[in-house]
Amino acid sequence: MSIVITGATGQLGRKVVEQLLARGVEPSTITAGGRNPQALQELAATGVRTAQIDYSDPDTLEAAFSGAEQVLLISGSEVGQRVPQHKAVIDAARAVSASVVYTSAPQASTSALILAPEHKATEEMLAASGLSHTVLRNSWYTENYDDAIRQAAAHGSILTSTGSGKVASATRTDYAEAAAAVLISANYAGQVLELAGDEPWDFDELAATVSDVAGRGVTVNQVTTAEHVEALKGFGLEEATAEFVAALDANIAEGLLAESDGTLSRIIGRPTTPLNQYVTQLLAT
């Protein structure tokens, strides 16, 4: 077995490497890739091989994928550039006939989620590649709310335009365990897996959880999308970023991140990390 993890210098990829090692995968069969030299050095210290991987530089992909049997393609973080970047990764995997596992988004092929189109296009490129592949349609990270949770604990309020929309979040560790389990098993080839937390929550529940853990009242300040954009700009966000963040909340309000069918907990063999446990750990640090 020889596995290349792209985006291994990032928060999710690093955890996938840890989970593979924890499952007894021989370190020398893992190649951890990314652009950040310091993060690559830290990964090398765990005994894995490392490689410079830049999705926009096909030479780095060709060099890193030499001899690879599997590639975990962690979706890039440069929104708007991901389709050509992911195409380059799939082309390089095809050159060595490696199978591909890809981190996508919930119901990417049909969802109105503003982030879905690049994931849908990538899934279509994978299907057209003829490569054996598995799609991990990861839902939201609970970590996306770290700042909101800390601010709620400190100031007693949470600003949102999600209405009563639910978020089926799970932690990066939950998703990383699933990715590792899928990479070391032959059982998931050809599958599209919708991965989400077991217990979708809304912002009233988030506020109640922070309130319980922090021991103080927390109110939810529900605003419209337009008011949210203005408030975010007032906090110093650029207009485009503020609109993006508020559009994601609007997607949540529409229920686009609410689905959970238990696939993630089945794959990792335990319940996903409960919100209360996550908030307790976060506020203790």
Ligand X SMILES: NC(=O)c1ccc[n+]([C@@H]2O[C@H](COP(=O)([O-])OP(=O)(O)OC[C@H]3O[C@@H](n4cnc5c(N)ncnc54)[C@H](OP(=O)(O)O)[C@@H]3O)[C@@H](O)[C@H]2O)c1
User: Which residues here bind ligand X, judged by CB under 6 A?
Assistant: 7, 9-13, 34-36, 39, 53-56, 74-78, 85, 103, 138, 140-141, 144
**In whole angstroms, how close is the CB of 194 to ligand X at the nearest point?**
12
**In whole angstroms, how close is the CB of 216 to ligand X at the nearest point?**
27
Give Cβ neighbours of residue 160 (< 8 Å, ≥ 6 apart).
Answer: 148, 203, 220, 221, 222, 223, 228, 249
Taking the least distance from each CB to ligand X, the nearer of 28 and 144 is 144
DSSP 174: H
Taking the least distance from each CB to ligand X, the nearer of 136 and 207 is 136
Cβ(74)–Cβ(12) below 8 Å: yes
DSSP, collapsed to helix, strand or coil, labels residue 165 as coil
**In whole angstroms, how close is the CB of 247 to ligand X at the nearest point?**
14
Closest residue to ligand X, based on beta-carbon distance: 10
Taking the least distance from each CB to ligand X, the nearer of 74 and 242 is 74
Taking the least distance from each CB to ligand X, the nearer of 78 and 230 is 78
Q: How far is CA 105 from CA 18, 82, 109, 164, 256, in A?
A: 23, 13, 9, 21, 11
**In whole angstroms, how close is the CB of 146 to ligand X at the nearest point?**
12
Cβ(61)–Cβ(51) below 8 Å: no
* Nearest Cα to Cα of residue 278 among 137, 204, 172: 172
